[in-house]
A and B are shown apart, each in its own frame.
Chain A
Amino acid sequence: MPGPAYRRGESVALHPVEEEDIEFLQRHRNDPSIRNGLTTAFPQTQHEAEQAFERHSENDGGVGLLVVPEGSEEPVGKVVGFRIDADQGVAEMAAWIVPEAQGNGYASEATRLLVDHLFEERRLNKVVARALVTNGPSRAVLEGLGFTQEGVQREEKYVGGEHVDVARYAVLAAEWPTAEVGGEA
Chain B
Amino acid sequence: MPGPAFRRNETVGLHTLEEADLEFLQALRAGPSVGFGEPVVGPENMHELTEWYEETVADTDESEGVQFVVCPRERTATDGGAPTMNTGDHGAADQEPPGADDEGPEPIGFAALSRVERPAGRVDATVAVHPRRADGAYAAAATRELVAYAIEERRVNRVVAPAVADDDRARSVLETVGFTAEETWHQERRVDGEFVDVTEYVMLAGGWFDRPDTTRGIPDSPPGATAEARGHTDATPFAVEPGGDGGTRDDTARDDAARDDGGGR
Q: Which of A96, A107, A133, A159 touches B260 (beta carbons < 8 Å)?
A: A96
Residue of B nearest to A81 (CB): B263
Query: Does B7 have its Cβ within 8 Å of any Cβ on chain A?
Result: yes
Number of chain A residues close to chain B: CB under 8 A: 89
Report how far A35 CA is from B153 CA in the complex, Å.
11
Stretch at the interface among B13-21, B38-46, B177-185, B187-195: B13-21
Residue of A nearest to B264 (CB): A56
Query: Does A172 have its Cβ within 8 Å of any Cβ on chain B?
Result: no
Residue of A nearest to B14 (CB): A43
Residues of A within 8 A of B238 (CB): 33, 36-37, 132, 134-138
User: Chain A's interface: helix, strand, loop or mixed, by majority?
Assistant: mixed
Residues of B within 8 A of A131 (CB): 242, 244-247
- Give the residues from 139 to 193 in chain B that come closer than 8 angstroms, CB to CB, to chain A: 151-155
A104-133 CB mask vs B (1 if < 8 Å, else 0) is: 001110110000000000000000011111
Number of chain B residues close to chain A: CB under 8 A: 62
Residues of A within 8 A of B216 (CB): 161-162
Query: Does B58 have its Cβ within 8 Å of any Cβ on chain A?
Result: yes
Is the beta-carbon distance between A41 and B3 smaller than 8 angstroms? no
Given contacts A48-B59, A134-B222, contact A157 B237 (CB under 8 A): no
Is the beta-carbon distance between B154 and A56 smaller than 8 angstroms? no
Is the beta-carbon distance between A30 and B4 smaller than 8 angstroms? yes
Nearest CB on B from A179, distance (A): 21
Query: Does B253 have its Cβ within 8 Å of any Cβ on chain A?
Result: yes
Residues of B within 8 A of A79 (CB): 243
Query: Does B85 have its Cβ within 8 Å of any Cβ on chain A?
Result: no
Residue of B nearest to A155 (CB): B223
Is the beta-carbon distance between A138 and B57 smaller than 8 angstroms? no
Residues of B within 8 A of A16 (CB): 264-265
Residue of B nearest to A158 (CB): B155
Query: Does A44 have its Cβ within 8 Å of any Cβ on chain B?
Result: yes
Query: Does B240 have its Cβ within 8 Å of any Cβ on chain A?
Result: yes
Residues of B within 8 A of A161 (CB): 151-152, 209, 214-216, 223-224
Query: Does B100 have its Cβ within 8 Å of any Cβ on chain A?
Result: no
Nearest CB on A from B18, distance (A): 5
Residue of B nearest to A39 (CB): B250
Given contacts A56-B264, A79-B243, contact A42 B237 (CB under 8 A): no
Query: Does A31 have its Cβ within 8 Å of any Cβ on chain B?
Result: yes
Q: Which of A59, A110, A167 touches B258 (beta carbons < 8 Å)?
A: A59
Query: Does A150 have its Cβ within 8 Å of any Cβ on chain B?
Result: no
Is the beta-carbon distance between A162 and B265 smaller than 8 angstroms? no
Residue of A nearest to B225 (CB): A134
Nearest CB on A from B42, distance (A): 26
- Give the residues from 24 to 55 in chain A that come closer than 8 angstroms, CB to CB, to chain B: 25-49, 51-53, 55
Residues of A within 8 A of B152 (CB): 160-161
23 contacts between A and B (CB under 8 A): A30-B3, A30-B4, A37-B240, A40-B253, A41-B250, A42-B253, A45-B3, A45-B17, A46-B3, A55-B264, A61-B263, A78-B261, A80-B259, A82-B262, A96-B241, A130-B245, A134-B238, A136-B238, A137-B238, A138-B241, A141-B243, A159-B223, A167-B244
